[in-house]
A and B are shown apart, each in its own frame.
Chain A
Amino acid sequence: MAQIIPLDSLKQPIGVEAMRAELAGGCAASSCGSSDGPADMDPAVWAKVKDHPCYSEEAHHYFARMHVAVAPACNIQCNYCNRKYDCSNESRPGVVSEKLTPEQAVRKVVAVANEVPQLSVLGIAGPGDACYDWNKTKATFDAVTWQIPDIKLCLSTNGLALPDHVDEIAAMNIDHVTITINMVDPEIGARIYPWIFHDHQRWFGVEASRILHERQMLGLEMLVARGILVKVNSVMIPGINDRHLVEVNRVVKAKGAFLHNIMPLISDPAHGTHFGLAGQRGPTAAELKALQDQVSGGTKLMRHCRQCRADAVGLLGEDRGQDFNMDKLPESVDYDPSKRAAYRAVVADVRGEHVAQKAQAAETVAAAGADEKVLVAVATKGGGRINQHFGHATEFQVYEVSPAGISFAGHRKVEQYCQGGWGEDATLDGVLAALESVAAVLCAKIGDCPKDSLATAGIVASHDYAYEWIEAGIAAWYAAAHPAAVRLTA
Chain B
Amino acid sequence: MAYKIIGSQCTACGACEFECPNGAISTKRGTYVIDAALCNECEGHHAKPQCASVCPVDGTCVPA
Contacts and interface: CB of A to CB of B under 8 A. Distances in A.
Contacts of B56: 74, 77, 83
B7 interface: no
A133 interface: yes
A416 interface: no
A73 interface: yes
A146 to B, nearest CB: 24
Given A75-B54, A84-B57, A200-B50, A135 B18 contact: yes
**In terms of DSSP, what is the predominant structure of the interface of chain B?**
loop
Nearest to B17: A73
A133 B14 contact: yes
A201 B47 contact: yes
A99 B12 contact: yes
Contacts of B57: 83-84
B54 A128 contact: no
Interface string A72-111: 1111010000011000000000000001000000000000
A197 interface: yes
A243 interface: no
Interface in B9-64: 11-15, 18-19, 46-48, 50, 53-54, 56-57
Nearest to A84: B11
Given A75-B54, A84-B57, A133 B15 contact: yes
Nearest to B58: A77
A202 interface: yes
Contacts of B12: 72, 99
Contact of B46 (A72, A73, A75, A200): A200
- Contact size class for A? 10 to 19
A201 B47 CA distance: 8
A202 B53 contact: yes
A441 B46 CA distance: 61
**In terms of DSSP, what is the predominant structure of the interface of chain A?**
loop
A201 B14 contact: no
A202 B46 CA distance: 12
Contacts of A74: 13, 15, 56
Interface string A39-78: 0000000000000000000000000000000001111010
A74 B18 CA distance: 12
From A83, A84, A135, A200, residue with most partner B Cβ within 10 Å: A200
A74 B48 CA distance: 18
Contact of A201 (B11, B15, B18, B53): B53
A84 B19 CA distance: 20
A72 B48 contact: no
Contacts of A200: 19, 46-47, 50, 53
Contacts of A72: 11-14
A84 B11 CA distance: 6
Contacts of A75: 15, 54
Contacts of B53: 197, 200-202
A202 B48 contact: yes
Contacts of B13: 72-74, 83, 127-128
From B12, B19, B50, B56, residue with most partner A Cβ within 10 Å: B56
B6 to A, nearest CB: 13
Given A83-B56, A83-B57, A73 B48 contact: no
A202 B54 CA distance: 7
Nearest to A72: B13
Contacts of B14: 72-73, 133
Nearest to A199: B46
B10 to A, nearest CB: 10
B54 A83 contact: no
A61 B13 CA distance: 34
A490 B54 CA distance: 69
From B13, B14, B53, B57, residue with most partner A Cβ within 10 Å: B13
A1 to B, nearest CB: 44
A469 B48 CA distance: 61
A135 B18 CA distance: 10
Contacts of A135: 18
Interface string A191-213: 00000010011100000000000
Interface of B: 11-15, 18-19, 46-48, 50, 53-54, 56-57
Given A74-B56, A133-B14, 8 more contacts: A72-B14, A83-B11, A127-B13, A133-B15, A197-B54, A201-B46, A201-B53, A202-B48
Interface of A: 72-75, 77, 83-84, 99, 127-128, 132-133, 135, 197, 200-202
26 contacts: A72-B12, A72-B13, A72-B14, A73-B13, A73-B14, A73-B15, A73-B54, A74-B13, A74-B15, A74-B56, A75-B15, A83-B11, A83-B13, A83-B56, A83-B57, A84-B11, A127-B13, A128-B15, A132-B15, A133-B18, A135-B18, A197-B54, A200-B53, A201-B46, A201-B47, A202-B48
Sort A-B residue pairs by CB-CB distance and give the 4 closest, nearest first.
A73-B15, A83-B56, A72-B13, A202-B53
